[in-house]
Amino acid sequence: MKIFKNLAGSIVLFSGLVGLTAISPTKVKAETSTATCATSGTLSYDDNDFTTRYGDGGGTAGTEGSDGMCYGTPDKYYITIYEMGLCTEAPVQSSSSTVSDTATSGFASTDFDTIDKSNCSITTSGSTAGDLAGSSSFTLTSGERPAAGEYTHAYIELGNAFVVKGEYAFTDGSTTTTYYSNGTASGETNVTSTTGSDYTVEEFTEELTSFGGGEECVHVGREQFTGGSSNGWLTAVVTDGTTVQTSCGSSVTRIFGMFKPDTAFTVSDSVTGMEVSITVTNSGMSVIGDGGGGGIDQLGSGPFKAQISFIE
């Protein structure tokens, strides 16, 4: 009989990896505290409910956030996850460090430029690709059983392309105004609005090749998680599937993310394996306001959620 024990509950893993913070020509910073969107169709456009709740992203705070955006549920969210694992030492290291342990910017090409999984256990078996739209999910099958003990780091390796589509609506009396993706990636206005029912939501592909935003090459992104059930540091780098690509560019095909929790993961002798369930409900779509006007300017990808469970 399988007994599933949550490693860290349902957590947003590697939030900074996915979507607009890294690939938008105009860098929009999505914090880990970004609010969950109200159900589509429940806010008023005329009353500027979006700005009232989520701010305008330019200094005016809302009741639930100040990013000028929120996280919703996409109509499509297609990703590929190649591998996950647990490690007793950091799998992303620097050949010559130039920054502090808490740095989130100012990286040189020798910072976090090496991947070494020699002290890791691969806990998933084979790659998994799929559409996580709506309340769908997929589960990564268990790989090798991690040996009993403490693990200081977890890692994930995923493709750098995210295929997304979605919509978000406002209701004023009998009028519903829907903003839907028109096939253009975020970074510029990529939605069309309509008050009718005859429209087609188009998918778009976002490819992450740098954490710098726009044309700037930054091969590493870092973010600290605080105030939740899984506090710690995320470090993510762009790779060609084997080595870190410090020059970014077209050679980037994957993203390697390393999470160092404040408290190490503990695997007991009774654990026989690990499973990871991935979802994007209320997280996988970034709904970005128009700067205070009450409407939507962009729809982009957002973070996925991963529930990690030990099998006993």
Dump pLDDT digits (tens) for 203-225: 999 888 888 766 789 999 887 77
Tens-digit pLDDT profile for residues 4-38: 333 333 334 444 343 333 323 233 333 446 789 99
pLDDT (0 to 100) of residue 19:
34
- Distances in whole angstroms, Cα of residue 83 to Cα of each of 141, 257, 276: 10, 11, 11
pLDDT (0 to 100) of residue 166:
96
CA distance 236 to 50: 31
Task: Supply the DSSP symbol for 63.
Answer: S
Count of other CB atoms within 10 angstroms of residue 200:
10
- Distances in whole angstroms, Cα of residue 122 to Cα of each of 145, 147, 156, 176, 232: 8, 11, 10, 48, 21
Q: Count, in order, helices (H) and strands (E) of the chain.
A: 2, 23
Amino acid at 107: F
pLDDT (0 to 100) of residue 243:
97
Which portions of the chain are predicted below pLDDT 70? 1-33, 134-143, 213-214, 227-230, 273-276, 307-308, 310
pLDDT (0 to 100) of residue 58:
87
